[in-house]
């Protein structure tokens, strides 16, 4: 849910109008995907054998099980065409990694690149040295040097083997907890509370470890970035842009926009569509939270990460404007923005796709392009409503987690009848009679 809501923030930086409907970026043919799966499975098996040799007993077995399950899930993602295997993005990222290798001999040589059809600005590195770069980074960050900063941070994670260390700790903790839980079976008093405290302490400890790893990856990543002769302050600027993504509230989708887009020749707009569900009498403080969200968080707040970096590296204190992007980066960013709606469609986020389409149209973006996508998304919503599985594609209202604007949108969508949804779908797909 939160990942979906955060994606709305992309709408803050869209000011480019496009005069044509672009075909979504292709995701490579079957032979390429087949070869990628074969190579990954081979490397995964080699890594599993290495892990089992390094960690004996239950820990080794747990690690092997995790990486086998991960390999299966990753193979499904490749088969589902979640990654772009041939594109100019590969060339750009590879050139940045080549620059990062300057004066950084600790960077592995066997790194591979995958571009994910994901609109969130994120990246991660797999165990075999495959870097997964979300297209959202190119939509959100200001220039290629900031992309390099994110890659440097992920290299910090890989060099320090943070994921493996967390999994080892998790396995060892599991074994300790099982032993403790066994003793609880002979104790009737407060057994449930004791078991819950074991789980809670484990989760808090994991949160502390992951937050510590993020700080360590920031520090090592900055050293790698600095050694490669990138502009130092762009590392901080990249983190600030990611902080913006986490903290800026999305703009309001105006009532006038609904009336403009859904007052159709064959179906007049109805005010009842905007009627909101009343949550005012619900007491959200009635139930006391047993788990602290702050303690569970795996990433420290970006403000704390920035503060820590500036304390360790005093040269980062002065704030400067971001560098101007190159023409090649602007081209990649434009293409990434045009892929936002195709990406939501690919991930079956149909309700979110409608909300984002309306935001684009409210901003006066290319009407032909975004109205076409509006029709495609409503067609999918119609199918889901007809098949009684709309919950799969359209969020339920959660007042504590969603903006007022998004709650209004969800009310609107749930208030539409099956026939009304079909009429909207037909109109925007030019099927109306």
Can you give the pLDDT at residue 252?
86
Query: Whole-angstrom Cα distance, residue 247 to residue 177?
Result: 37
Can you give the pLDDT at residue 329?
96
pLDDT at 212 over 50: yes
Can you give the pLDDT at residue 432?
54
What are the pLDDT digits (tens) for 179-211? 665 565 555 555 556 555 555 565 655 667 788
- Please report, for residues 299, 331, 357, the alpha-carbon distance to residue 362 in angstroms, rounded to integers and kept in the order given: 34, 24, 9
Q: Where are the domains of the chain?
A: 25-231, 255-286+339-428
Can you give the pLDDT at residue 202?
57
pLDDT at 72 over 80: yes
- Which pLDDT band, with edges at 50, 70 and 90, does 300 fall under? low
Can you give the pLDDT at residue 109?
85
Average pLDDT on 338-348 reads 94
Query: Residue 225: phi, psi to the nearest 5?
Result: -60, -45
pLDDT at 173 over 50: yes
What are the pLDDT digits (tens) for 317-336? 766 789 999 999 999 999 99
CA neighbor of 125 nearest in space, from 240, 235, 6, 213: 213
- Which pLDDT band, with edges at 50, 70 and 90, does 7 fall under? very low
- Please report, for residues 48, 219, 358, 374, 407, the alpha-carbon distance to residue 367 in angstroms, rounded to integers and kept in the order given: 51, 45, 10, 10, 24
Overall pTM > 0.85: no
pLDDT at 5 over 50: no
CA neighbor of 329 nearest in space, from 227, 201, 234: 234
pLDDT at 21 over 60: no
Query: Whole-angstrom Cα distance, residue 232 to residue 242?
Result: 17
pLDDT at 90 over 50: yes
pLDDT at 262 over 60: yes
pLDDT at 295 over 90: no
Least confident span in 36-50, 293-307, 397-411: 293-307
pLDDT greater at residue 210 or residue 294? 210
Can you give the pLDDT at residue 317?
72
Range 72-81, long-range pairs (CB < 8 A, 24+ positions): 74/40, 74/126, 75/37, 75/40, 75/41, 78/33, 78/36, 78/37, 78/40, 79/33, 79/37, 81/27, 81/28, 81/33, 81/117, 81/346
pLDDT at 43 over 70: yes
Question: DSSP string spanning 175-218?
Answer: HHHHHHHHHHTT--TTHHHHHHHHHHHHHHHHHHHHHHHHHHHH
- Which pLDDT band, with edges at 50, 70 and 90, does 374 fall under? very high
């Amino acid at each position: 849910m939160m990942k979906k809501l955060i994606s709305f923030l992309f709408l803050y930086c869209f000011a480019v109008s496009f005069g044509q409907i672009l075909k979504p970026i292709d995701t490579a043919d079957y032979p390429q995907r087949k070869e990628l799966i074969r190579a990954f499975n081979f490397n995964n098996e080699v890594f599993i054998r290495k892990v089992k040799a390094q960690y004996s007993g239950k820990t080794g077995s747990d690690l092997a099980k995790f990486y086998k399950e991960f390999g299966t899930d990753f193979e499904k993602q490749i088969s589902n065409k979640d990654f772009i295997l041939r594109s100019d993005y590969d060339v750009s990222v590879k050139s940045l990694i080549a620059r990062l290798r300057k004066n950084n001999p600790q960077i592995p040589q066997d790194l591979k690149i995958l571009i994910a059809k994901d609109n969130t600005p994120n990246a991660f590195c797999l165990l075999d040295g495959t870097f997964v770069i979300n297209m959202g980074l190119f939509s959100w960050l200001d220039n290629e040097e900031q992309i390099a900063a994110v890659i440097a941070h992920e290299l910090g994670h890989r060099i320090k083997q943070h994921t493996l260390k967390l999994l080892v700790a998790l396995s060892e903790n599991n074994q300790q907890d099982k032993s403790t839980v066994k003793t609880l079976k002979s104790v009737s008093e407060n057994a449930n509370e004791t078991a819950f405290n074991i789980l809670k302490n484990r989760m808090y400890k994991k949160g502390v470890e992951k937050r510590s790893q993020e700080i360590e990856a920031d520090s090592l990543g900055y050293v790698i970035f600095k050694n490669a002769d990138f502009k130092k302050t762009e590392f901080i600027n990249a983190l600030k842009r990611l902080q913006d993504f986490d903290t800026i509230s999305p703009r309001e989708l105006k009532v006038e926009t609904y009336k403009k887009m859904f007052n159709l020749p064959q179906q007049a707009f109805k005010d009842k569509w905007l009627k909101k569900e009343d949550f005012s009498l619900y007491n959200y403080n009635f139930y006391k939270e047993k788990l602290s969200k702050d303690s569970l968080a795996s990433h420290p707040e970006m403000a704390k990460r920035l503060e820590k970096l500036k304390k360790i590296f005093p040269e980062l204190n002065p704030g400067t404007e971001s560098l101007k992007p190159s023409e090649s980066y602007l081209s990649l960013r434009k293409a990434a923005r045009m892929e936002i709606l195709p990406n939501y469609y690919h991930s079956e986020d149909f309700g979110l796709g409608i909300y984002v389409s309306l935001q684009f149209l409210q901003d006066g973006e290319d009407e032909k392009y975004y109205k076409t996508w509006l029709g495609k998304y409503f067609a999918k919503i119609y199918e889901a409503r007809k098949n009684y599985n709309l919950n799969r594609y359209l969020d339920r209202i959660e007042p504590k987690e969603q903006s007022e604007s998004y709650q209004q949108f969800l009310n609107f969508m749930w208030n539409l009848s099956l026939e009304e949804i079909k009429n909207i779908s037909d109109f925007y797909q030019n099927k109306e009679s």
